[in-house]
Amino acid sequence: MLAKKTNSYLHDLMKKSNAVKKQFQYCEQENQTGKTNEINPFAETSYEPVKNLIHKYSNRVLILFTKNCAAYCRFCTRRRVVSQKENAIDVDKMVDYIRSHSNIDEVIFSGGDPLTKPLELIEAMYKFAEIEHIKIIRIHTRVPVTAPDLFDDNILEAIKSIGKTKPVYISLHTNHIDELGEKTTKIIQQLRGAGAILISQSVFLKGVNDDVPTLANLFTKLTQLGVKPYYIHRCDFVKGVEHWIIPIEREVEIMTQLRKEISGLAYPLHVIDAPGGSGKIPVPTNFWEHNLDQFSDFNNKEIKMYGQRIKK
C-alpha cells in the first residue's frame, strides 16, 4: 500500500488548486476492487540483472535509485514498491555490469525520486558518466514540482561538469499548469542555466487534465519555460488506480484537438505502456482510421484492449 506523504509547500498548493489536491489526497477508491489485480504490469523484475538495475532495452538501463519520493502521487504505477522500506543500492556493482555491456549508452535514474537523495545521486552520476560508452545521463524527477524547497543545488555543479562532455537530461513529471509555481519555475531556470536539457512527462488523469484547454495550457507553458513536452502516458492499468483512467476514445479526441491548437514543439507523444513491459506504444489520433480495440507491442504481440476499456 502506498504511504500517505505530502509537505507544507504542497499543502499550500493543494489549498489553492483542486487539480493538485486531487493528485495527492488519499481516496477510498484506491482500496476498492476493480477490473485488475495487476501490481507489476511491466514485469520489471524479469529484466533485473543487478538489484535495482532494469535492463529491458538493449541500449539503456533504468536505475531504481530509491523508493522514496518527496510526496506520493495517488496514481503511482510503482505503488507496489514506492514508499516501501529502502534497500541499499550497490552502484559499483551496477557500474561493473554496465562496463561489461558496451551496447548500453544511456543511464536513466528513476525510482521513487532520485532527487530525494542528491548527494548519493551526484556520486553515482559521476561514476556512470566516467564509463566511456555511456553517452547520456537522464534523471526522472518530480521534486521541483512537489518539494522545490528540497532541491539541492549541488546537483547543478554536477550537471555543469558532466554536461561538458555528455548531455544530462532532466525529465520533469508534471500534470497541470498549477504545479508550475514561482519556485518550480526558478529551479527550471537554474537547471537550464547549468546546461541540462529539460523534457516533461505527464499522465492523463480523470478530473485533473482530461480536457483540451488544461493540457494546451500545460504544454504551452512548459515549452515557454524551455521544457520540451516529451510523453503523455495513458494511466497504467494497475490495482488501486483504475479510478484515474479516462476512456481511450476521450484521450484520442483530446490529442487530436490539441494537435490542431498547439505547436508541434509543444505536442508530446501520447503512449500506452504495453502489458509485460514490451514498449511504450504510440496511440493514434483521429486524423487516421484506426481500431482502438487492440494494438501490437514491440514484439508484435497483439494486446486486446477490452480489459482496459473504461466506459465513456
CB of 228 to ligand SF4, least distance (A): 19
CB of 312 to ligand SF4, least distance (A): 26
Q: In the window 197-256, what residues touch ligand SF4 (CB under 6 A)?
A: none
Determine phi and psi for 118, rounding to 5 degrees. -65, -40
CB of 277 to ligand SF4, least distance (A): 17
Report the residue number, 179 or 297, with the smaller CB distance to ligand SF4: 179
* Interface with ligand SF4 (CB under 6 A), residue from 22, 138, 142, 233: 142
Report the residue number, 113 or 178, with the smaller CB distance to ligand SF4: 113
Report the residue number, 72 or 128, with the smaller CB distance to ligand SF4: 72
CB of 99 to ligand SF4, least distance (A): 28
Whether the bond into 112 is cis, omega within 30 of 0 = yes
* Interface with ligand SF4 (CB under 6 A), residue from 19, 53, 63, 69: 69
Cell 502521487 locates to 73
CB of 113 to ligand SF4, least distance (A): 5
Cell of 77: 504505477
Cell of 267: 505536442
Q: Quick one: CA torsion of 278, 202, 140, 237, rounded to 10 degrees?
A: -40
The answer to whether 237 and 308 have CB atoms below 8 angstroms apart is: yes
Cα 40 from Cα 22, distance rounded (Å): 24
CB of 182 to ligand SF4, least distance (A): 21
CB of 19 to ligand SF4, least distance (A): 15
The answer to whether 274 and 281 have CB atoms below 8 angstroms apart is: yes
Sign of CA pseudo-dihedral 179, 180, 184, 189 = positive
267 binds ligand SF4 (CB under 6 A): no
Cell 507496489 locates to 80
Cα 34 from Cα 301, distance rounded (Å): 25
* Interface with ligand SF4 (CB under 6 A), residue from 82, 147, 255, 272: 82
173 binds ligand SF4 (CB under 6 A): yes
CB proximity list for 135: less than 8 A, separation 6 or greater: 105, 106, 166, 167
Q: Dump strand ranges (E) for 204-282.
A: 227-233, 269-273, 280-282
55 binds ligand SF4 (CB under 6 A): no
Cell of 25: 489526497
* # residues near ligand SF4 by CB under 6 A: 11
* Interface with ligand SF4 (CB under 6 A), residue from 72, 151, 204, 295: 72
* Interface with ligand SF4 (CB under 6 A), residue from 14, 61, 73, 248: 73
Q: In the window 84-123, what residues touch ligand SF4 (CB under 6 A)?
A: 111-113
Binding residues (CB under 6 A) for ligand SF4: these are 69, 72-73, 76, 78, 82, 111-113, 142, 173
